[in-house]
Amino acid sequence: MTRLSGIFLRPQVAALVAVLLMNWLLFPDFFDLTWRDGRLFGSLIDVLNRGAPVAILAIGMTAVIATKGVDLSVGAVMAIAAAVAATLVVGGQPAIVAVTAALAAGLLCGLWNGVLVTYLDMQPIVATLVLMVAGRGLAQLITEGSIVTFSDPVLIYIGTGAFLGLPMPVVIALALLLLTTLLVRRTALGLMIEAVGVNKGAARLVGIPARLLLIGAYAFAGFCAAIAGIIVAGDIRGADANNAGLWLELDAILAVVIGGTSLLGGRFSIPLSVLGAVIIQAMNTGILISGLPPEFNLMVKAGIIILILILQSPLAAEAFARRMPKRKTAPRERTMP
Amino acid sequence: MNRSLRPLLATTIIFVLAYALAVSQYPGLLSTRVLGNFLTDNAFLGIAAVGMTFVILAGGIDLSVGAVIGFTTVLIAVLVMWAGLHPLAAFAVALVVAAAFGATMGAAIAYLQVPAFIVTLAGMFLARGAASVISPDSIGIKHDFYTAVSQTYLLLPGGGRITVIGGLMVAVFVLGALLAHRTRFGSAVYALGGNPTSAALMGVPVPRTTILIYTLSSTLAGLAGAVFSLYTKAGYSLSAVGVELDAIAAVVIGGTLLTGGYGFIAGTFIGVLLQGLVQTYIVFDGSLSSWWTKIVIGGLLFMFILLQRLIFSASAPSRKALWKA
């Protein structure tokens, strides 16, 4: 459980501050904000804006990982949602219909994953692999293989507009963060999700609707992916089935892991996952403005994952706190989060 | 009949049926020429899939395969074109680097007890990143050895060609099958995938086996990279993106259980051929777009996982775990 007052003492916050300071040293204007045409401009806003799609994916991914699962299909679902929205507005439908249909498509993809995991008892990594492989094909089927471009003002506003001076993607991500955090922490929902993540069988025996929660978690991840897909489509004013959301599932998982959510299930924090997404984007921006070739980006990311893995590993936990009993985790459970 | 043979049998029947169906539509598909191309075009995927089979048999997963292939092609291109090494020496260096990389990942999984999924994800970032740091651009390879290899082949009756890389893939499959079914290491892999705790109690050296499995997988990915560089005559950091997913799909379609413990190297071979068949069919058809490949492979993947569930539902580990809880 993360109390809002305790969140400022987290290592993730220290990491973000360190990355931002590094950016500031490299680029002294980094924290400069200007107000122009009714919205804020500046590198900091840019970090938030670029990080918003991954942050939104990370919110959904957190719910899935908390149940000891993983969703590899979110990138493909983004492409599907973008394709649905773009094709509908180009076909003359109003934007509200397009957005609703895209969200419904995302929800449907998530439900499909959830049913595979819950009722067919597939390991999450495999169940979502199916949609990851086939999803991009489906998206291309919808766009008929071309990049569908549109000029619908509402969709473009979702991707590039501003509300109260903040870019729309940031506003959407913040609203989603607030709503889900309140929902899981002000009700018993979060506790029940954690119970399912720790031990599905035990959770069912104490009367938690484990299957419903599992399906719900995957459906929510699909829904979040659809939102991210619409934002990305609005940003580039088109749906590119091949490249929309490509490899973003890995960034989303990375954001969740940086946020300290356990891949073994049972412990999660949505605000910290969003913070993880912002850290990743701040790093990306930092590498870009430092003049280092963007190729170093991946290596820096890998280095950070390795560092976090070592810190999070049971070995380190034993070294830090001797009171923890030695875990005998079966490789099957270790390898299939 | 042995229950673990059933998925393999199902895969074989489906491949034969699918092939017969494709041939009935396009008789041209039934030629040694097409079969030879199956082997050549899928050589790198097949070799990587053998390594992936071992990893999945042991209940793990290796997401770094495609990135290791990409890294190896760049490393070989740089060693051959910039450092002037003979390609065979470059292959040896690349294999050693890949093996060390796999051993490191295996050690992290074995000793840090971190999920294989996330360790190999980090490995994937690292290998891709390292490849693009060495050279972000594609490097063409011009060497007499490459020309000689591409012109060496075994002529089959009917005009089909077994190229060096196609033959190499078959050899890797044969050796892989021997390693899995006829050696102590192979038994340890199956035992680990079946139940790691009992494997450890029976005296299987779990950490050592885990390290060896990931070393093997990365070495074979390195070999696949060498084959890919022979196939494309270039080194490019973004080559073979997503091959790990094709390899996992081939393993699953080949009837290996993703929870580990059950499966055959031979099944993976058929899985690779089935994917090749889908691609070739779509090329032959001409009117179907290439994205159908992805949808069909996704559909096949789903069908086979479902099939495995039905066959193994009585002994599904998660169900047992539920009752234990």
Minimal-distance CA residue of chain A relative to B322: A201
Task: Decide if pLDDT at B57 tops 90.
Answer: yes
Binning pLDDT at 50, 70 and 90, where does residue A8 land?
A: low
pLDDT in the model for residue B323: 40
In a domain, A30, yes or no: no
Binning pLDDT at 50, 70 and 90, where does residue A301 land?
A: confident
β-pair type (A162-163, B161-163): unpaired
Q: Which residue has the higher pLDDT, A55 or B194?
A: A55
pLDDT in the model for residue B281: 85
Characterise B14 by phi-psi region: left (phi > 0), alpha (psi -120 to 50), beta (else).
alpha
pLDDT in the model for residue A324: 43
The ipTM assigned to this model is: 0.74
**Whose CA is closest to B295, among A49, A226, A139, A291?**
A139
CA distances to A188, B163, B164, B174 from B155, rounded to whole Å, are: 69, 9, 11, 21
Measured distance CA(B72)–CA(B301) in Å, rounded: 28
Round the CA-based radius of gyration of chain A to a whole number and report it: 20
At B161, the amino acid letter reads: R
- A286-310 mean pLDDT: 77
Q: How does pLDDT run across A145-158, given as a tens digit for each residue?
A: 788 888 888 888 88
pTM: 0.82
Q: Residue B66: list chain A partners with CB under 8 A.
A: none
In a domain, A35, yes or no: no
What CATH number did the domain enclosing A290 receive? 1.10.3470
Tokens 């401009």 identify what position? Answer: A41
In a domain, A59, yes or no: yes
> How many Å lie between the alpha carbon of A89 and the closest alpha carbon of chain B?
23
Return the biggest CA–CA distance within chain A.
Answer: 64
> For the residues of B259-302, what is the DSSP string, one character each?
TSS---HHHHHHHHHHHHHHHHHHHHH-SS-THHHHHHHHHHHH
Average pLDDT along chain A: 83
Measured distance CA(B172)–CA(B48) in Å, rounded: 10
A272 contacts A2 by C-beta, under 8 angstroms: yes
Chain B stretch 177-206, residues whose beta carbon is closer than 8 A to a beta carbon of chain A: 192-193, 195-197, 206
In a domain, A200, yes or no: yes
Retrieve residue A43's tokens: 């590198």
- Ranges A103-117, A320-334, B84-98, B234-248: which has the least confidence: A320-334
**CB burial class (10 A; 0-12, 13-18, 19+) of residue A198?**
middle
Which member of B115, B289, B325 has the closest CB to residue A337?
A: B115
- Count of domains in chain A? 1
Q: Which residue has the higher pLDDT, A253 or A107?
A: A107
- B207-231 mean pLDDT: 94
Q: HSE of A101 in the Cβ direction (CA atoms, 13 Å)?
A: 17
Task: Decide if pLDDT at B66 tops 60.
Answer: yes
For chain B, which domains are there? 3-312 (1.10.3470)
End-to-end Cα, chain A, rounded Å: 21
In a domain, A98, yes or no: yes
In the three-class reduction of DSSP (H, G, I as helix; E, B as strand; rest coil), residue A114 is classed as: helix
CB contact under 8 A, B305 and A328: no
Q: What is the DSSP letter of A6?
A: G
Tokens 């980094």 identify what position? Answer: A30
Q: At what angle do helices A248-258 and A270-289 cross, to 10 degrees?
A: 120
Q: Positive or negative CA dihedral for B50, B54, B56, B57?
A: positive
Which member of A250, A295, A303 has the closest CB to residue B121?
A: A250
Q: At what angle do helices B265-285 and B243-253 cross, to 10 degrees?
A: 110
- A305-334 mean pLDDT: 59
Q: What is the DSSP letter of B262?
A: -
β-pair type (A162-163, A166-167): antiparallel
Q: At what angle do helices B291-312 and B6-25 cross, to 10 degrees?
A: 150
Task: Decide if pLDDT at B265 tops 60.
Answer: yes
Backbone angles phi, psi at A300, to 5 degrees: -65, -45
pLDDT in the model for residue A101: 95
Measured distance CA(A228)–CA(A52) in Å, rounded: 8
pLDDT in the model for residue A328: 45
CB contact under 8 A, B116 and A125: no
Q: CB contact, 8 Å: B58 with chain A?
A: yes
pLDDT in the model for residue B216: 96
Minimal-distance CA residue of chain B relative to A137: B291
Q: Which residue has the higher pLDDT, B54 or B85?
A: B54
Binning pLDDT at 50, 70 and 90, where does residue A284 land?
A: confident
Q: What is the DSSP letter of A327?
A: P
Domain that holds residue A251: 42-321+328-335
Measured distance CA(B230)–CA(B44) in Å, rounded: 10
Average pLDDT along chain B: 86
pLDDT in the model for residue A2: 46
pLDDT in the model for residue B4: 67
Q: CB contact, 8 Å: B82 with chain A?
A: no
pLDDT in the model for residue B116: 86
- Ranges A178-192, A320-334, B24-38: which has the least confidence: A320-334
Return the biggest CA–CA distance within chain B.
Answer: 63
CB contact under 8 A, A335 and B60: yes
Binning pLDDT at 50, 70 and 90, where does residue B177 land?
A: very high
- B12-30 mean pLDDT: 87
**CB burial class (10 A; 0-12, 13-18, 19+) of residue B203?**
exposed
B237 contacts B136 by C-beta, under 8 angstroms: yes
Q: Positive or negative CA dihedral for B229, B232, B236, B237?
A: negative
Backbone angles phi, psi at A295, to 5 degrees: -60, -25
Measured distance CA(A72)–CA(A24) in Å, rounded: 34
Q: Which residue has the higher pLDDT, A176 or A329?
A: A176
pLDDT in the model for residue A320: 62
Q: Which residue has the higher pLDDT, B43 or A286?
A: B43
Q: CB contact, 8 Å: B212 with chain A?
A: no
Measured distance CA(B141)–CA(B186) in Å, rounded: 37
- B262-277 mean pLDDT: 90
Q: Residue A145: list chain B partners with CB under 8 A.
A: 289, 291
Q: Residue B292: list chain A partners with CB under 8 A.
A: 137
- Ranges A9-18, A48-57, A156-165: which has the least confidence: A9-18
